[in-house]
Amino acid sequence: MARVTPLSGFPEWLPDARVVEQHVLDVLRRTFELHGFAGIETRAVEPLDQLLRKGETSKEVYVLRRLQEDDAAADGAASHDGGRSGEKQLGLHFDLTVPFARYVLENAGRLAFPFKRYQIQKVWRGERPQDGRFREFAQADIDVVGAGELPYHFEVELPLVMAEALGALREVGVPPVRILVNNRKVAEGFYRGLGLEDVEGVLRQIDKLDKIGTEQVAALLVAEQGASPEQAAACLELAAVHGADVSVVDRVRAIAVQHDAVTDLLEEGLAELGALVAAAGERAPGVVVADLKIARGLDYYTGSVYETVLVGHEQLGSICSGGRYDTLASDGKNTYPGVGLSVGVSRLVSRLLSAGLVTATRGVPTAVLVAVTDEEHRGASDDVAAALRARGVPTDVAPSAAKFGKQIKFADRRGIPFVWFPGEEHQVKDIRSGEQVAADPQTWQPPADDVRPRVVAAS
């Protein structure tokens, strides 16, 4: 199940690995639909000016140009092409949030709000190849967006939908996930209560904790954010709070009280965080953990923020992130608050495969290969195949009337479990056990587990 990546950053899968990826996508889609999310797709391109509005990631945009534009320019013949130079410059989307926000604005009058959608598509980022990161990868996003307002309970529901979707993959060998949550209002309320007004600046330093440790972060808070040593220590105390039950709320409040940093915003954030942890404790015990050092994304999210790690594979980083935006989109007149999460499907699947956690029972859909006795009787084999397919059994017909041993080998190489021998009396052989029995093309059914390739925990 080797990965094929001859163009650095553009992963491609062999058929058996694609069975794994397709299974992951099917499970995500099914779970999202069970929760009422409507599937949409957006075009791969957005006007470059829209893509460049989102800070850092902008630098990674792939810009498009039509080859013909070159030719025209080279010929000095631009005017021959209908004012094409007036076309907007386009780039490939680097996430599904920017396009979704644009889609919401464009179709606001035709959508019913709150609008719940899922979106499973490729995105592209022209990162430096030496980082070993993907330049093309599949994402699976869910978002809820409201018109004007969006109740808090969606911030509780969305990570639980993801917990269910990723949890549904456990039976095929995907490790359990842990969803780490924080809340912008808690962090901002606390910092402001302490007297630190550059909230983004403090968050930027806190985000370095895993990399450089508490001492250096404390030093940076003092040197760059103008914090006193006591303020810096308080920030680190907050960041150390971590837990899967509502006691985290009391711990945060105790720290705030001790540092005289209680604010209305902090209390609002704590009420939200407490509600999320409480609901998660009931519906997905042990999955959602409040982790007050999560700072990534708190600069642009306005409420809850989420990161998700595969337990035992934490060094892979977050495989599913998101949060609450008070303004996912705005057209000047109306604002559209949203909350969403995005699964990095390629990153997840790549790890499942490279760590040998998951495998496919075969790389072809085929459950039965119908042998061909001789080319004159290929039609008889086609008839058997048609009968099996009509009952939902993926079936192939041998490509040539070779010796039966060679036809069985053809099936064996592909992991096809059954070979059918047509004749006066039809027979079907399970090539794993060697058992061969008489069978009727109109009624025979393979065991349910053999009908389609399955994805299973690698042994």
Residues between 87 and 106 that touch a second copy (CB under 8 A)? 87-88, 90-92, 103, 106
Q: Which of residues 16-45 bind a second copy (CB under 8 A)?
A: 18-19, 22, 33-45
Interface stretch with a second copy, choices 1-9, 255-263, 306-314, 422-430 (CB under 8 A): 1-9
- Does the protein bind a second copy through residue 110 (CB under 8 A)? yes
Location of structure tokens 């070979």? 419
The binder of a second copy chosen from 452, 454, 456, 458 (CB under 8 A): 452
The binder of a second copy chosen from 95, 108, 126, 222 (CB under 8 A): 126
- Does the protein bind a second copy through residue 81 (CB under 8 A)? yes
- Does the protein bind a second copy through residue 392 (CB under 8 A)? yes
CB of 236 to a second copy, least distance (A): 35
Report d(CA 64, CA 77) in Å as an integer. 20
The binder of a second copy chosen from 73, 78, 108, 111 (CB under 8 A): 111
Within 8 A by CB and 6+ apart from 266, the residues are 185, 186, 189, 190, 193, 252, 256
- Does the protein bind a second copy through residue 10 (CB under 8 A)? yes
CB of 233 to a second copy, least distance (A): 39
Residue 305: C-alpha distances to residues 55, 172, 256, 258, 323 (Å): 18, 28, 21, 26, 4
The binder of a second copy chosen from 140, 261, 339, 364 (CB under 8 A): 364
Report d(CA 29, CA 48) in Å as an integer. 30
The binder of a second copy chosen from 196, 238, 328, 393 (CB under 8 A): 393
Q: What is the CA radius of gyration of the chain?
A: 28
Rounded to the nearest 5 degrees, what angle is found at the Cα of 196, between the Cα atoms of 194 and 201? 140
The binder of a second copy chosen from 114, 201, 303, 441 (CB under 8 A): 114
Q: What six digits make up the tokens of 42?
A: 């957006």
- Does the protein bind a second copy through residue 59 (CB under 8 A)? yes
The binder of a second copy chosen from 3, 128, 170, 406 (CB under 8 A): 128
- Does the protein bind a second copy through residue 204 (CB under 8 A)? no
The binder of a second copy chosen from 3, 64, 224, 445 (CB under 8 A): 64
- Does the protein bind a second copy through residue 6 (CB under 8 A)? yes
Within 8 A by CB and 6+ apart from 68, the residues are 81
Sign of CA dihedral 388, 390, 395, 397: positive
Q: Yes or no: say if 268 and 237 are a contact pair by the CB < 8 Å rule.
A: no
Interface stretch with a second copy, choices 10-18, 299-307, 314-322, 351-359 (CB under 8 A): 10-18
Interface stretch with a second copy, choices 168-176, 177-185, 204-212, 410-418 (CB under 8 A): 410-418
Fill in the per-residue mask, 135 to 174: x = in contact with a second copy (CB under 8 A), - = not in contact.
-x---------x----x-xx--x-----------------
Q: What six digits make up the tokens of 11?
A: 């992963």
Location of structure tokens 């990674």? 60
Q: CB atoms < 10 A from the CB of 401, how many? A: 17
> Which of 40/219 has CB closer to a second copy?
40
Q: What six digits make up the tokens of 68?
A: 């013909």
Interface stretch with a second copy, choices 244-252, 317-325, 394-402, 442-450 (CB under 8 A): 394-402
Within 8 A by CB and 6+ apart from 132, the residues are none
Residue 139 is inside which H or E element, if any? strand 136-145
- Does the protein bind a second copy through residue 77 (CB under 8 A)? no
Interface stretch with a second copy, choices 11-19, 217-225, 317-325, 439-447 (CB under 8 A): 11-19
Q: Is 436 exposed, middle or buried (0-12, 13-18, 19+ CB in 10 A)?
A: middle
> Which of 221/387 has CB closer to a second copy?
387
Report d(CA 202, CA 200) in Å as an integer. 5
CB of 226 to a second copy, least distance (A): 32
Q: Please state the length of the chain.
A: 459
- Does the protein bind a second copy through residue 62 (CB under 8 A)? yes
Return the closest-CA partner of residue 342 out of 35, 62, 38, 121: 121
Backbone angles phi, psi at 384, to 5 degrees: -60, -45
> Which of 42/335 has CB closer to a second copy?
42
> Which of 209/402 has CB closer to a second copy?
402
Report d(CA 155, CA 197) in Å as an integer. 26
CB of 210 to a second copy, least distance (A): 26
